[in-house]
Amino acid sequence: MVKRSLQASLTGIQQAKKAFAHKGWTQENLAFEVNLKTRQPIWRFFSGRPVERHIFIEICTVLSLNWREMAANPPEEFSNSEELGSAEFLDIDALVQQVRSQRFEKIQDQCGTLQLLDISRPVKIDDIYIDLNFLEEIASLQWLEFANLQNFTPKEFDRFGLSEGYHTQIAGMRAVETYSKLRVLGKPGAGKTTFLQHLAIQCNRGRFAANRVPIFVTLRDFADESREAGQFHLLNYIRQEFFTCGISDLSVLESLLWEGRVLLLLDGLDEVLHQESKAVVNEIRRLSEKYQKNLFVVTCRTAAKALNLRRFTDVEIAPFSQDQIVAFAQKWFTALTKMNVQDRTEQAVQFIEKLDLPENLQFRRLTVTPLFLHLACGVFHQHNKFPNQKATFYKQCLDLLLSKWDENKGLERDEVYQGFLLPQKLKLLSQVAATTFEQGNYFFEQRIVEQYIGDYIRDLPNASTEPEELQLDSEGVLKAIELQHGLLAERVQGIFSFSYLTFQEYLTARKIAASHNLQALEQPLERLVSHITEPRWREIFLLTVAMLRSADFLLQLMKQQVDALVTQDPYLQIFITWASQKSLAAAEQPPATRAFYLALARTGHLTLHFALAFILDQGIFLDAALDNLLMECTNDDKSNFANAHACDDALSNALAIVKNAGLHQALQQLKDLLPDPEQSREKFQTWWQTSYPTWIEQLKTIIANYQNIQHHWHFSPEQQQVLQQYYDANQLLIDCLNSNCEVTSVVRQKIEASLLLP
């Protein structure tokens, strides 16, 4: 039988005492490091008396000594036929393989499946996992002047921190191979836990780090058990986990760690309660420094990066790229729907196609995170489209971040909110969003957002009025919002933003709608309407009109504001009157017809919209054809033979659809005057120089007389800008009407009938 105790040799004792003196510890200190309740085994060790084998090995390990060199009569190696419980006698490669074999089912059960939100069954991780990329530089650790972040466009906001000039990316698996001590940071739902589970499964199957033993630890569970036991000792916690796999010899784990044969995966550092985080961090530090040959990967929310792990390299999960979104969607519809294979594939393709449409930009902004991409896939699967009522989807996302995400994971968070309820959290965030968006700020300094939070807290019952206490409370609430919910994020040192622009827009609209609905005040909507010509407010209008109990008042205000854009310019009024007169000849859809002529004259030509013109009215189709004719015949290159053919063809096309006999005859006469493109270049050039100016003026006159299409509109740059704003604002008004908002039929009909009228 293998002896269960060891004792130090005289030489070993001398070496141990020297190493012990170098540490500067007392025997009580060493006992604590070895996780002993008394120092008696330490005294026995230094006295040369027998000590339990695992304690002997641990003492030597803590003192950075080779236990075989310390022991008197160390045991010989023994064959693989002996039980695993005597690990120190095994060849290390054989030991690794035996431990991997005994723990294989445990790891598969622990890490092989995911429980996705709103999905009633576990999902195999292989069926849904997408390889992640990491940012090697953490944006929130950089320093930038606030002035450099002002006047950002929404597109620039979405791309902030992702350009090559800011950060390089590294594949997740490559990062683990490169850095032996790695901390993976990320927002809620970014895929941190899933990444660790994937690492464990790949290692378990021998596809990654096949010469190591994977160990997966949920740090929240470790902290909970340590609190109950009254001591924090990560090594003992892992030993106990080994024991459940039938590995009872306490020296097995030490042997693996000493030889650097462990892949230790520690999940959720941010999920440990604040009062226990220091003890947990110390245990990770102690283990990683004592057994440096192993691979250590820790996950943590980005906002909790202040929990410093010495000698660990921090990386941050990068947002999904387009290729990753496509790959995830294909896996999602394959794994989580009950349709046949062809229908699953087709729906995945439709999802990507519709996600990339301009009207779904806000959904696209959210789907760079696995959590929200999963939700978007689920919503699309139910209806085969994205919902018109986007506000409902955004509310679901916010409710998830503010409460349900932690609840689903069974997390207990430190309560920094002074008892805030969900409506209070939403009200506070809406106040911050609306104030910053109104000011045109997507980024805001920490001191500014803390002031907004302080203003809100000050009005709460029993709130402190002491400036210093109020400041501390504001700081605490900001950090809690960042850590617990991920809704506000420190983008660079001391500068925050909403983690997604979509949430800032939604919360701004929510503030406007809530103020109007609850207080029946007109001012919030009047302030909103003052921004009708600003493109960045477009989404706020669409969200607000959808959230109002009645959208009548807002839509009427918008109509008044739109009309006011052109009322002060007589020339623009004449132009709009002309468009209105032209539309009267159309059989149906006068607002759409007015929009057609407004765009036709404003842009000069609308030759790409023949299909729209044909749908509207046959007469409008003719107008579009005549407009195309003028474009072809007034091209600067019409002296070229090939382009002359195009002019001749355009005139033939117009003649083919003209029903008015007088117009047909006049156009035919002009066509007969065109020179034959097949004749000599000299004759063609002569006609072009002598007869073309008169010919083209005759064409314009004929079109103006018969069809009332004016081609002499001359708008100043300022008028062009106003017309563009007028056109876009009307389009916004139409989009709001068509957004399934609550509007009475009387108001709808009145607005639709008067669209684009002078």
| pLDDT of residue 529 exceeding 90 | yes
- Same domain for 476 and 339, yes or no, is no
Choice among 126-130, 387-391, 410-414 with the minimum mean pLDDT? 410-414
The stretches of 259-360 forming alpha helices (DSSP H) are 274-290, 322-336, 341-355
Identify the band that residue 726 occupies on the pLDDT scale cut at 50, 70 and 90. confident
pLDDT value of position 81 = 35
Q: What is the pLDDT of residue 650?
A: 76
Angle 681-690/692-707 helices, nearest 10 degrees?
A: 60
Nearest one of 215, 184, 199, 218 to 410, comparing CA atoms: 218
In one-letter notation, the amino acid at residue 161 is G
Nearest to 369 by CA among 166, 120, 119, 132: 132
Dihedral through CA 309, CA 315, CA 317, CA 318, nearest 10?
A: 160
Residue 741 lies in a domain: no
Judged against a pLDDT cut of 70, whether residue 151 lies above it is answered with no
pLDDT at 65 over 60: yes
Strand runs labelled E in 269-325: 295-301, 313-317
Going by pLDDT thresholds of 50, 70 and 90, the confidence category of residue 288 is very high
Q: What is the CATH number of the domain that holds 139?
A: 3.40.50.300
Cβ atoms of residues 733 and 558 within 8 Å: yes
Same domain, 37 and 152: no
Predicted confidence (pLDDT) at residue 389 exceeds the cutoff of 60:
yes
Distance CA 496, CA 478 (A): 10
Tell me the β-bridge partners of 295: 263
- Whether 370 maps to a domain, the answer reads yes
For residues 163 and 254, membership in a common domain is answered with yes
Residue 160 has pLDDT above 80, yes or no: no
What is the mean pLDDT of the segment spanning 187-213?
93
Last residue of a domain, one of 501, 526, 549: 549
Please check whether residue 557 lies inside any domain of the structure: no
Q: What is the mean pLDDT of residues 178-201?
A: 93
Q: What is the pLDDT of residues 442-476, one digit of tens each?
A: 888 899 999 998 888 888 777 777 888 888 888 88
pLDDT tens sequence across 468-480: 888 888 888 888 8
CB–CB of 262/234 below 8 Å? no
pLDDT at residue 223 tops 50: yes
**Domain boundary residue, one of 287, 302, 317:** 317
Residues 262, 113 share a domain: yes
The C-alpha torsion from 164 through 167 and 172 to 175, rounded to 10°, is 120
Q: Average pLDDT of 645-660?
A: 76
34 and 180 fall within a common domain: no
Average pLDDT over residues 300-313: 82
Greater model confidence, 628 or 236: 236
CB 366 within 8 A of CB 543: no
Q: Flag whether 619 is in a domain.
A: no
- Percent residues over pLDDT 70 in the chain: 81
Sequence-ordered alpha helix ranges (H) in 184-321: 192-204, 219-229, 234-243, 251-258, 274-290
Contact residues for 274 (Cβ-Cβ < 8 A; gap 6+): 414
Answer yes or no: is 685 within a domain. Answer: no
What 450-453 contacts at long range (C-beta under 8 Å, 24+ apart), as own/partner pairs, is: 450/474, 450/475, 450/478, 453/428, 453/477, 453/478
Mean pLDDT confidence for 177-192: 92
Residue 433 lies in a domain: yes
Same domain, 70 and 133: no
Nearest to 756 by CA among 543, 602, 551: 602
Q: Total domain count for the chain?
A: 4
pLDDT tens, 331-345? 999 988 877 778 888
Tell me which of 212 and 275 has the higher pLDDT.
212
pLDDT tens-place string over residues 472-518: 888 888 888 888 888 888 887 888 889 889 999 999 999 999 886 65
Least confident of 135-144, 355-364, 429-438: 135-144
Cα separation, 754 vs 758, in Å, equals: 9
pLDDT at 77 over 60: no
Residue 358, judged by CB atoms within 10 A of its CB (0-12, 13-18, 19+), counts as exposed
Find tokens 């033979």 and name the residue: 641
Q: Extract the tokens encoding 71.
A: 């022991």
| Predicted confidence (pLDDT) at residue 253 exceeds the cutoff of 60 | yes
Contact between 352 and 344 (Cβ < 8 Å): no
**542 — pLDDT class (breaks 50, 70, 90):** very high
* Mean of pLDDT values over 16-20: 91
Among candidate residues 16, 44, 75, the one where a domain is terminated: 75
Can you give the residue range of the structural domain that contains 430?
A: 422-549
CATH number of residue 24's parent domain: 1.10.260.40
Which pLDDT does position 277 carry in this prediction?
A: 87
pLDDT tops 50 at residue 615: no
Q: Measure the CA–CA gap between 549 and 551, rounded to whole angstroms.
A: 7
Report, as an integer, the average pLDDT of 696-725.
77
745 or 589, higher pLDDT: 745
Same domain assignment for residues 293 and 332? no
Amino acid 80: pLDDT: 36
The verdict on residue 59 lying in a domain is: yes
Residue 187 lies in a domain: yes
**CA–CA dist 731, 91 (Å, integer):** 76
What are the pLDDT digits (tens) for 544-592?
Answer: 999 998 999 999 999 999 999 888 888 888 887 877 776 665 545 556 5
Beta strands, E only, 35-76: 51-52
Q: What's this model's pTM, rounded to 2 decimal places?
A: 0.72
In a shared domain, residues 257 and 108: yes
Is residue 652 over pLDDT 90?
Answer: no
Report how far residue 298's alpha carbon sits from residue 318's, in angstroms, rounded to the nearest whole number. 17
Residue 393, pLDDT > 60, answer yes
pLDDT at residue 576 in the model: 79
Asked whether residue 141 falls in the same domain as residue 265, the answer is yes
Residue 601's Cβ-side half-sphere holds a number of Cα atoms within 13 Å equal to: 25
- pLDDT: is 602 or 584 the higher one? 584
Give strand pairing partners of 314: 183
Q: Answer yes or no: do 499 and 361 share one domain.
A: no
The pLDDT mean for the chain works out to 81
Give the range among 173-187, 619-633, 661-675 with minimum mean pLDDT.
619-633
pLDDT at 534: 94
Per-residue pLDDT at 620: 57
Q: Are strands 51-52 and 5-6 parallel, antiparallel or unpaired?
A: antiparallel
Q: Which two tokens mark 593? A: 């017809």
Alpha-carbon gap, residue 472 to 375, rounded angstroms: 36
List all residues 6 or more positions away from 432 whose beta carbon is below 8 Å from its beta carbon.
449, 452, 453, 488, 507
pLDDT, residue 407, reads 67
Quick one: average pLDDT of 646-652?
75
737, 743 Cβ separation under 8 angstroms: yes
* Same domain (yes/no): 63, 104: no
- Average of per-residue pLDDT across 589-613: 51
Pair (345, 304) in one structural domain: no
Q: Which of 559, 378, 609, 405 lies closest to 487 in space, CA to CA?
A: 405
